[in-house]
Amino acid sequence: MCGIVGYIGKNNALPILMDGLKRLEYRGYDSAGVAVKTDQGVFAVKAVGKIVELEKKITPLTPPLSGGSNLGIAHTRWATHGAPSEVNAHPHCDCQRKIWLAHNGIIENYQELKALLIKKGHKFVSETDTEVVAHLLEDLYDGNLTNTLIKALRLLKGAYGLVIFHAAEPTKLLAAKCGSPLVIGLTEDGTIVASDVSAIIRYTKQVIYLDDNEVAEISGHDFKIYNLQSETVAKQAKTIDWDIEASEKAGFPHFMLKEIFDQPNSLANSLRGRIILSDGKVKLGGLDIVAEKVRAIEKLVIAACGTARHAGLIGEYMIEEYAGLSTEVDYASEFRYRQPVLDKKTALLVISQSGETADTLAAVQEAKGKGLLTLGIVNVVGSSIARATDAGVYNHIGPEISVASTKAFTSQAAILALLTVMLGRQRQMSLVMGERICRELLALPEKMREILKTSEQIKKIAEKYSKFAHFAYLGRKYNQPLAFEGALKLKEISYLHAEGFASGEMKHGPIAMIDGNFPVVMIAPQDSVYEKNYSNMQELKARGAKIIAITTAGNEKIKEAADDVIYIPKTLEMLTPILAAMPLQLFAYHLAALSGRDVDKPRNLAKSVTVE
Ligand code: M6R
């Protein structure tokens, strides 16, 4: 997830672009850049780090900027392809430095296109997928940037929000959308295009939301919208009723809720371009260089902390059941103290959203010291763990701002499912099984949208239970790690006592605590262990427990044992935790928000734990 902004109009573009970048900084902040058309040509500048670093490099009162500019684009980056560096920062341009563009999304077929364009003599300077679009436009340019863009877009695969200008057509700013958001703000004096309304709302509340496969051709305050068949599309402006603060959160009261609701998109981004359905295979580009070593390993050790470790525990079940590879999960903070028995046929896989968690990094160093292959599932490109591991897979979910991890968790579990298919297909998994898992993975975003519709129902359940001080979370098999995750979510943002247990463990001690004041959240989809979970629920009911059950849509019978029921759509058993996580996140969120907690920044916690 990156932030893009473009302006064309009567006012000076630069201050509007810089202000827009600051408002979009929450979407990504590893590097930034701006390009404006001036009387003396295009002025472009880029910097690594936050927007303030870019600002330091701009002197608005000296030429060429002193003459002002009525056209420009800017970008704040969240790296996906290529490390955070000046050369990889946007805007990118063609060989002649005339066509400039900023991009949010991932161009899936950039390698094929790049190879083709290099053969034709184009010179690439960055490692990004984005630069290919600038050279493609240069290659196809027919004197009209709008027509050329429509032709180029027909050749692109993947997701994009693009803002583009050509120095030879300075009365035109173009925007194009497919998969990544873009909104156009209409003011008296000009037009602003941005990734979201937070960059626009200071100037206007009149906006037009671009839909997928639409191109906007903007000149001052006139605009035309085309589809990819070059037909014009009529669009109505909408009036935003949010204030500036709410706009960064897309109207949500907290980043956590926004991130929970972002999951259908973030999960789709994690899967994008990685599934070859017809072959029942996955393509994890970051693991290409170690594919043969991965084929040879006989054991996998997963090390991670907190939520990332819970995802790892789900991965353990997936990999052992479907890939037949012995897997164990460690607390990263314990990995080097317990003297694990490791040999060269073992690989270490670490999972970390931030890529900076000190304990996880220490586990990587320990494993490297022992000569092990080290792999990572990391969200932040270029982070310490991404650099320290031999190879890895990025989540591609954009920044996670709320301390409580939500969209990273579902993405981590989904990537572990992809890894399961990769490991499985290298071993004994059939094409049919590989294809089945992949197909079910691709269906998850839509199913997540269904779950989000239950948010208000979950809020009412949270209200009902808001006076209780203790909660138990139970799950079995794939959903046992989810019991830990559900409890962690509740405790970290509500400060209530919550504990996760394997359902079968209750009768070995914890059930002694249970009475009418200790509600139980039971994760019980209709899977291979449902009957056992149902018996556990009855045992708890007999002890006066109040039960909130999460189960598969259509399961009416569970109402005989549960006080409250939240339904999730059916999916493959190994993928149920990805869906069941969402009601748990929503329950924790609503309960904490109702109690007036500082949901996004809970006390005593930090987003990135860089001390051991
Ligand atoms: O950045 P990491 O994924 O390495 O962080 C690991 C944990 O600190 C993190 O998941 C933590 O448990 C979350 N706050 C839980 O919501």
Is the pLDDT score of 441 beyond 80? yes
Mean model confidence pLDDT for the chain: 94
What is the pLDDT confidence band of residue 399, given thresholds at 50, 70 and 90? confident
Q: Does a structural domain hold residue 611? A: no
- Do 353 and 497 reside in the same domain of the chain? no
**pLDDT confidence bin for 338, thresholds 50/70/90:** confident
pLDDT above 80: residue 467: yes
Q: What is the mean pLDDT of residues 154-176?
A: 96
Q: Ligand 1 — pocket residues by CB below 6 A?
A: 305-308, 352-354, 357, 360, 403-405, 488, 492, 608-609
CA dihedral 310, 316, 321, 325 (to 10 degrees): 170
pLDDT band at 30 (very low <50, low <70, confident <90, very high): confident
Whether residue 28 has pLDDT greater than 80: no
Q: How far is the CA of 308 from the centre of ligand 1 (A)?
A: 6
Asked if the structure places residue 175 within a domain, the reply is: yes
pLDDT at residue 246 in the model? 67
pTM for the model: 0.82
Residues 332 and 459 in one domain: no
**228 and 285, same domain (yes or no):** no
pLDDT value at 610 more than 80: no
Judge if 539 and 487 occupy the same domain: yes
- In 10 A of CB 202, how many CB atoms? 16
Q: Is 457 exposed, middle or buried (0-12, 13-18, 19+ CB in 10 A)?
A: middle
Reply yes or no on whether the pLDDT at 9 is more than 90.
yes
pLDDT category at 472 given cuts 50, 70, 90 is very high
| Beta carbons within 8 Å of 465's beta carbon, 6+ residues apart | 471, 519, 546, 548, 591
pLDDT at 220 over 80: no
Query: Does 296 share its domain with 400?
Result: yes
**DSSP output for 406-461:** -HHHHHHHHHHHHHHHHHHHHTT--HHHHHHHHHHHHHHHHHHHHHHTTHHHHHHH
Read off the pLDDT of residues 498-557 as tens digits, 9 standing for 90 and up: 999 999 999 999 999 999 999 999 999 999 999 999 999 999 999 999 999 999 999 999
Model confidence at 612, in pLDDT bands (50, 70, 90)?
Answer: low
The predicted-structure confidence for 243-285, as pLDDT tens digits, reads as follows: 776 667 888 999 999 999 999 999 999 999 999 999 999 999 9
Say if residue 226 is in the same domain as residue 134: yes
Cβ-based neighbours of 467, under 8 Å, separated by 6 or more: none
Domain count, the chain: 3
User: Closest Cα to atom 12, ligand 1: which residue?
Assistant: 306
**Residue 412 CA: which ligand 1 atom is closest?**
3
> 80 vs 49, which has greater pLDDT?
49
Report percent pLDDT > 70 for the chain: 99
Tokens at residue 576, please?
Answer: 């149920």
From the CA of 224, how far away is ligand 1's center (Å)?
45
Residue 462 and residue 400 share a domain: no
In a domain, 254, yes or no: yes
CA angle (242 as vertex; 241, 244 as ends), nearest 5: 140
471 and 443, same structural domain? Answer: no
Q: Separation of 605 CA from ligand 1 center, angstroms?
A: 10
Q: Tell me, what CATH number does 69's domain have?
A: 3.60.20.10
Q: Identify whether 612 is part of a domain.
A: no
Domain membership flag for residue 603:
no
Q: Whose CA is nearest to atom 14 of ligand 1?
A: 404
Active site residues: 2, 607
**Residue that wins the pLDDT comparison between 205 and 153:** 153
Whether residue 392 contacts residue 376, with contact meaning beta carbons closer than 8 Å, is answered with yes
393 & 425 share domain:
yes
CA dihedral 81, 314, 346, 287 (to 10 degrees): -20
Per-residue pLDDT, 606 = 78
Q: Are 561 and 531 in contact (CB under 8 A)?
A: no
Expressed as residue numbers, the domain containing 30 is 3-240
Domain end (from 240, 260, 294): 240
Which of these three, 221, 240, 259, is where a domain ends?
A: 240
User: Are 267 and 350 in the same domain?
Assistant: yes
Report H helices in 25-169.
51-56, 110-119, 131-140, 145-153
101 in Cβ contact with 71 (< 8 Å): no
Instruction: Give yes or no: residues 205 and 295 share one domain.
Output: no
Same domain, 84 and 229: yes
Helix (H, G, I), strand (E, B) or coil at 181: coil
User: CA-CA distance, 540 to 150, in Å (whole number)?
Assistant: 62
* Residue 573 lies inside a defined structural domain of this protein: yes
Q: What is the CATH number of the domain that holds 437?
A: 3.40.50.10490
The alpha carbon of residue 41 and the mean position of all alpha carbons in its chain are separated, in whole angstroms, by 37
Provide the token pair at 19: 């202000």
What average pLDDT does this structure show over 15-35?
89
Which of 211, 240, 269 is the endpoint of a domain? 240
How do residues 87-145 score in pLDDT, each as one tens digit? 999 999 999 999 999 999 889 999 999 999 999 999 999 999 999 999 999 999 999 99
Q: What is the CA radius of gyration of the chain?
A: 25
Rounded to whole angstroms, how far apart are CA atoms 400 and 352? 12
In a domain, 609, yes or no: no
Q: Is 121 within the bounds of a domain?
A: yes
Helix (H, G, I), strand (E, B) or coil at 75: strand
pLDDT at 470 over 70: yes
**Average pLDDT of span 444-462:** 98
